Amino acid sequence: MSRIGKLPIEIPAGVKVTIDNNVVTVKGPQGELTQAIDPLISVELDGAVLHVKRPNDEKESRAKHGLYRALIHNMVKGVSEGYTATLELVGVGYRVENQGQILNFALGYTHPIYLQLPAEVKVETKSERNQNPQIILKSADKQLLGQICAKIRSFRKPEPYKGKGIRFQGEVVRRKAGKSAGK
């Protein structure tokens, strides 16, 4: 049996879960999220505990069992606590600023890069002296937050020689020796 799928999902106070026609809707203080569930998987609400069940031990149902349990758990955690991601820009002259939901990047290209963020994501930028500029993203939707972080990171991935680029806070970039180290 799936070790992840068989774990119950605790519903915290202030969070409301509704299930109808294989669609799970979770409402909480941080927002509202919905997820369509495969008809192979059943979701049962038992008081303040949610159980995800599968009908048999076939490969497809085993795979989806853990998947949908994880998705629903992420939704419950997102609407109750929310998710936060912090990115930092490492490099001379790399800057970021936001005007509302629009991020304006200066990343060493000949042009600025503008990124329009969806309304579900709250953004804050910090630029302090002698520190790398930071982008703090907050959202109830973990999947959307990860997607936006990946998009921002794709503008300048961390490179292994000087360590420049956009990276998550606390991320360690493995450094390589340059060609002069071989002599």
- For residue 97, give its domain range: 83-168
Which one-letter DSSP state was computed for residue 170? T
Residue 4 lies in a domain: no
pLDDT at 179: 83
> How far apart (Å, rounded) are the C-alpha atoms in residues 118 and 95?
21
Average pLDDT over residues 128-151: 94
* Residue-wise pLDDT tens digits, 20-78: 988 999 999 999 999 999 999 999 998 899 999 998 888 888 889 999 999 999 999 99
Is the domain of 41 the same as that of 116?
Answer: no
Question: What is each CA distance from 77 to 68, 82, 125, 164, 170, in whole angstroms?
Answer: 14, 7, 24, 33, 23
> In total, how many domains does the chain have?
2
Residue 176: partners with Cβ closer than 8 Å, 6 or more residues away:
160, 161
Residue 3 pLDDT class (50, 70, 90 cuts) = confident
51 in any annotated domain: yes
pLDDT at 1 over 80: no
Do residues 42 and 53 make contact, with C-beta atoms less than 8 angstroms apart? yes
Res 178: pLDDT: 83
155 phi/psi in degrees, rounded to 5: -65, -40
Measured from the Cβ of residue 137, the count of other Cβ atoms closer than 10 Å reads 21
At 164 the pLDDT is 93
